[in-house]
Amino acid sequence: MLRSRIIPCLLIHNKGLVKTVNFKNPKYVGDPINAVKIFNEKEVDELIVLDIDATKENRGPNLKMIKSLANECRMPFCYGGGITTVKQAVKIISLGAEKVALSYSALNNISLCQEIGDIIGNQSVVVVIDVKKKKIFGGYDIYTHNGTKKSNWKLNDFISKLEEIGIGEIVINSIDNDGVMQGYDLPLIENIRGKCSMPITVIGGAGSLQNIKDLINKFKIIGAAAGSLFVFKGKYKAVLISYPNREERKPIY
């Protein structure tokens, strides 16, 4: 039975765990393996790990790092970053990841999503869509390469095509809200939710458990992902890995 999930999202930059604001100025916050160990103890629902260097550096996934993370993880684990071939996706699943996430490669060659899904199962294929509000006329544009390159795809057209293919999940990542910790872009999700039936995970803006509760209350079964909320503590953003315990999660779900 499907249910909502609360998902830490870890960004990997120069092999370290970082957090960004509006996809810029990555701040080092620790070692990814140590973070995974803490999240194991806190019994998180799921984990997303995104290597934000891979596509920008035009290289493939760091298989050694993925193997280390998968060996440590005791929760479902989705990896994204640099995946451009079916072979890479199959290898990542064989190392212990439950899902693979595509972004630029899906926009560049959408048939790759289906090709990967045919081998590992569509339920294991995730597409991360990084969006930014248009400055004029409203709506949203899709960006790649850490928010530096605008795609020619229109957001609704791309989502419709992914639904036609039948991928397992889309992750909607708000560049405008990234690291700001003032809440999710609910109108964005409302627009998307009305046009597709695929499982959706949302990231960008969570600054409190109330923000997560608001998202889940409004959209019911959905993935609520966050970065800053689970790695920073207090107004001065001291680094502290955290996650709500079972009692704190009950009223949210």
Q: Environment class of residue 184 by beta-carbon count within 10 Å: exposed (0-12), middle (13-18) or buried (19+)?
A: buried
Is residue 163 within 8 Å of 130, Cβ to Cβ? Answer: no
From 45, 51, 130, 185, the catalytic residue? 130
DSSP string, 124-147: GEEEEEEEEE-SSSSSEEEEETTT
Q: Environment class of residue 47 by beta-carbon count within 10 Å: exposed (0-12), middle (13-18) or buried (19+)?
A: buried
Supply the DSSP symbol for 161: H
Characterize the bridge pairing of strands 24-30 and 99-102: unpaired
For 123, residues 6+ apart whose C-beta sits below 8 A from its C-beta are: 168
Q: Residue 146 corresponds to which amino acid?
A: N
Minimal CA–CA distance to 157: which of 195, 204, 193? 195
Supply the DSSP symbol for 82: S
CA angle 54, 227, 110 (to 5 degrees): 45
- Is 214 noted as a catalytic residue in this protein? no
Supply the DSSP symbol for 155: H
Is residue 50 within 8 Å of 101, Cβ to Cβ? Answer: yes
Which are the catalytic amino acids?
A: 130
